[in-house]
Amino acid sequence: MNTAAWTFDNSFLRELPGLFTPWQAEVPKAPKLVLFNDALAAQLGLPGREAGGAQLAEWYSGAAPVPGSEPAALAYAGHQFGQFNPTMGDGRALLLGEIVTPGGARFDLQFKGSGRTPYSRGGDGMCALGPALREYLVSEAMAALGVPTTRSLAVVATGSGIWREQPHPAAVLTRVAASHLRIGSFEFAATHQGREAVERLCDYALARHHPALLDAPNRPLALLGAVAEAQARLVAKWMALGFVHGVMNTDNVTISGESIDYGPCAFLDTYSAGEVFSSIDRQGRYAYGQQPVVCRWNLYQLASALIEAIAAADGAGVETARALLEDWPLRYRAHWLRELRAKLGLATEHDDDDALAQDLFSLLEGQQADFTMTFRALASALTQGFDVFAAQLLEPDKLQPWFARWQGRLALEPLDPAVRAAAMDAVNPLYIPRNQRLDAALGAAEAGDLAPFSGMLAAVSQPNAAQPGWEDYSAIPADGSPHHVTFCGT
Ligand code: AMP
Ligand code: MG
């Protein structure tokens, strides 16, 4: 057994009193390792499979203490579907502590599904195996797609069952994150603790994520700017991939700019800006096309939590914060356009590019076009002609003029079509977690057959290069229902 590799340094507990409660995981009945991320463990300098499946299962379920960990449930607040909830927190999660890697990077290790905590309210503190596997697969897919994201290290079945409309096996997921600071952490400090605590939290966040900004004249303002930038980049990536988060509550928005909490999330099948998958999002607040709008709304909540500290640092800072959020759509748009240029094979910048990209989305509305395959088809059309693209569309004639316009734009930066197609394929994935196929794989896994899940995990972990035998992962299942619904992964 190699425990020498555990190097915890639990700064959150040292520096942020009042924002956590020390707590222990519930001891599981019969922990059994379901998944372990060897590559991630190696990257973090943590013990690998040589420790043995039984030992890993004990560590990553709360059956045996992880050496050096100091488990605690974190306190936070949050705007849930627009309503402020002043007291939330880790109701079924525990921060184990912060791992410092051999390279000096710092990551949170966190359990999800490890039992009730002081923040559980009416919840049971548990996580079903299906949602734990879902988060594991989608977060690993996002990482492979180049999206800043929390990662998944292990899933352990606890040996107990839980009830979610029907019985499910329970599991503990171990999550790795740059930190678990959220907009809701700042809302909690501002609501319950006051300005000095907000300033302390702000300096802590800067030290962890933007140490260079600790020298800024107005540090809370600098943090707001850095989070606004990180979230603009993140949401632009979601939009470019057709990813719908599903619960963009402020407690699910990180300060680091990583995607977090893969509950009712989904990837677009056929494109529509109004697409909603989550069963709990009845008003479409978090629909695909709403995500940049909601992101900015969330940033306003961060600004509210920081505003006293911003004003105390320098009175003019409030006006700067206002202007920063006013102009945020431009900042977001610049990130979105960079993503879209790459998706469309454009290496240079021209004034009409924004309109070209936006018009494609407008024209795709109602075409029943598979979002993911549309961009692969555009690349194929470079060498095989318009018909490949047309095959994705209900009314190809409506897109023909746009296609010609795109060809004209490409002519401004001549490049061998095969070379350009390869560059496009390198950013436009072929294999994404297809909603219905993922749910089928999770159902099979809960029934004891992990094979469909493992196959899909392999494909989405290498999303861009075509592999023989993986054809099924690159299409909407033919027998699927036209509109898929996802459920909150509790
Ligand atoms: P989420 O939508 O997963 O981000 O969770 C929102 C809030 O509900 C967080 O404070 C969670 O800790 C809490 N929560 C979610 N599921 C459970 C559960 N099964 N037991 C206790 N708390 C939960
Ligand atoms: Mg959450």
Read off the pLDDT of residues 447-464 as tens digits, 9 standing for 90 and up: 999 999 999 999 999 999
Residues 196 and 170 in one domain: no
Phi/psi for 190 (5° steps) reads -65, -40
The C-alpha atoms of residue 386 and residue 125 are separated, in whole angstroms, by: 53
Q: Residue 475: which pLDDT band, with cuts at 50, 70 and 90?
A: confident
Q: What is the mean pLDDT of residues 9-15?
A: 98
Q: Has residue 114 been placed in a domain?
A: yes
Q: What is the pLDDT of residue 478?
A: 75
Q: Has residue 137 been placed in a domain?
A: yes
**Closest ligand 1 atom, residue 263 Cα:** 3
* Closest residue CA from atom 13 of ligand 1: 91
Q: Say if residue 49's pLDDT is above 90.
A: yes
The C-alpha atoms of residue 254 and residue 467 are separated, in whole angstroms, by: 35
8 A C-beta contact, residue 133 and residue 442: yes
Residue appearing with tokens 């002081």: 118
* Closest residue CA from atom 8 of ligand 1: 91
SS3 439: helix
Q: What percent of the chain has pLDDT over 70?
A: 98
* Closest residue CA from atom 16 of ligand 1: 490
Residues 31 and 156 in one domain: yes
Residues 287 and 241 in one domain: yes
DSSP string of 70-109, one letter each residue:
--EEEP--EEETTEEES----SSEEEEEEEE-TTS-EEEE
> How does the average pLDDT of the chain come out, rounded?
96
Q: What is the pLDDT of residue 238?
A: 98
Last residue of a domain, one of 177, 211, 229: 177
Q: Has residue 432 been placed in a domain?
A: no
pLDDT digits (tens, 9 = 90+) for 268-284: 999 999 999 999 998 99
Residues with CB under 6 A from ligand 1: 88-93, 120, 123-126, 247, 251-252, 261, 263, 490
Q: What is the mean pLDDT of residues 216-232?
A: 98
Residues marked as catalytic: 251
Residue appearing with tokens 């850095």: 226
**Number of structural domains the chain divides into:** 2
Q: What is the mean pLDDT of residues 72-85?
A: 98
The C-alpha atoms of residue 148 and residue 332 are separated, in whole angstroms, by: 16
Domain of 287 in residue numbering reads as 183-337
Q: What is the mean pLDDT of residues 384-394?
A: 97
Q: What is the mean pLDDT of residues 373-397?
A: 98
Please report, for residues 37, 46, 106, 360, 485, the alpha-carbon distance to residue 102 in angstroms, rounded to integers and kept in the order given.
18, 9, 10, 46, 42
Q: Tell me, what amino acid is at 131?
A: P
Residues 297 and 263 in one domain: yes
Q: Say if residue 482's pLDDT is above 80.
A: no
**Closest ligand 1 atom, residue 90 Cα:** 12
Q: What is the pLDDT of residue 4?
A: 45
Residues 127 and 216 in one domain: no
Contacts of 100 (CB under 8 A, 6+ apart): 7, 8, 9, 106
Q: Residue 3: which pLDDT band, with cuts at 50, 70 and 90?
A: very low
8 A C-beta contact, residue 150 and residue 186: no
Note the pTM of the prediction, 2 decimals.
Answer: 0.97
Q: What is the pLDDT of residue 235?
A: 98
Residues 138 and 206 in one domain: no
**Closest ligand 1 atom, residue 252 Cα:** 4
pLDDT digits (tens, 9 = 90+) for 99-121: 999 999 999 999 999 999 999 99
Residues 98 and 137 in one domain: yes
The C-alpha atoms of residue 262 and residue 151 are separated, in whole angstroms, by: 11
8 A C-beta contact, residue 261 and residue 246: no
Last residue of a domain, one of 303, 337, 371: 337
Q: What end-to-end distance do the CA atoms of the chain give, in Å?
A: 34
Phi/psi for 159 (5° steps) reads 95, -10
Q: What is the pLDDT of residue 204?
A: 98
Q: Has residue 255 been placed in a domain?
A: yes
Q: Residue 401: which pLDDT band, with cuts at 50, 70 and 90?
A: very high
DSSP letter, residue 247: -
pLDDT digits (tens, 9 = 90+) for 342-368: 999 999 999 999 999 999 999 999 999
